[in-house]
Amino acid sequence: MILLNASHFVGKGLHRECYIHPDNDQLCVKVVVAGDLSESKREQSYYKRLQKRGISWDILPRFHGQIETNMGAGAVFDLIRDVDGEVSKTLEYYLSCEHLESTENPGISQAISIFKQALYRQSIITMTLSPKNIMYKKTGPHEGRLILIDNIGNSDFIPICSYIDSLAKKKITRKLLRFEKTVLKMCAHNKALLIELGT
Ligand X SMILES: Nc1ncnc2c1ncn2[C@@H]1O[C@H](COP(=O)(O)OP(=O)(O)OP(=O)(O)O)[C@@H](O)[C@H]1O
CA distances from 39 to 8, 32, 100, 135, 159 (A): 23, 9, 34, 20, 15
Closer to ligand X by Cβ: residue 61 or 144: 61
With binding defined as CB under 6 A, does residue 11 bind ligand X?
A: yes
Closer to ligand X by Cβ: residue 51 or 103: 51
Coil, helix or strand at residue 126 = strand
Binding-site partner at residue 28 among Mg ion, ligand X, none, CB < 5 to 8 Å by type? ligand X
For ligand X, which residue of 2, 8, 12, 142 counts as binding (CB under 6 A)?
12
Find the residue with minimal CB distance to ligand X: 13
**For 33-71, where are the E strands, in sequence order?**
63-69
Strand order in the sheet with 24-32: 9-12, 16-21, 24-32, 72-78, 63-69
Q: How far is the CB of 194 from Mg ion (least distance, A)?
A: 25
CA angle (36, 38, 42) in 5-degree steps: 155
Contact track, Mg ion, 145-184, x by CB under 5 A: -----x----------------------------------
With binding defined as CB under 6 A, does residue 184 bind ligand X?
A: no
Residue ranges binding ligand X (CB under 6 A):
10-16, 18, 28, 30, 61, 77-80, 87-88, 90, 132-133, 135, 149-150
